[in-house]
Amino acid sequence: MKTTLVSAFVYLFSMTGSYAYIDPGTGSIILQAILAFIASVFAVASFYWNKIKLFIKSKLKKKSEDS
């Protein structure tokens, strides 16, 4: 186990720099993925909005009854 950790440490810290770049096509794909994730979160939230709202109301009502 110790040998594995030492070899992983040496491997990770002995790497040299990479002179690579992200071209515009890759950047647009990343942007599309981020926007698709945000849109899907909003779609799921709007689909379950009534359930979420009722859950929050029940928790707040239960909390006010307890106090």
Instruction: Give the residue-averaged pLDDT of 27-32.
Output: 92
Report yes or no on 25 lying in a domain.
Answer: no
> What region does 40 belong to: left with phi over 0, alpha with psi -120 to 50, or beta?
alpha
Residue 21 lies in a domain: no
Confidence (pLDDT) at 41? 93
> What is the domain extent for residue 61?
39-67
34 is a domain residue: no
pLDDT tens-digit readout, 35-64: 999 999 999 888 888 888 898 899 888 777
Whether residue 15 lies inside any domain: the answer is: no
3 or 38: which leads in pLDDT: 38
- In one letter, which amino acid is 53? K
Secondary structure in 3-state letters for the chain: CHHHHHHHHHHHHCCCCCCCCCCHHHHHHHHHHHHHHHHHHHHHHHHCHHHHHHHHHHHHHHHHHHC
**What domain count does the chain have?**
1
Q: Tell me, yes or no, whether 62 lies in a domain.
A: yes
pTM metric for this prediction: 0.48
Residue 32 is assigned to a structural domain of this protein? no
pLDDT at 11 > cutoff 90: no
In a domain, 33, yes or no: no
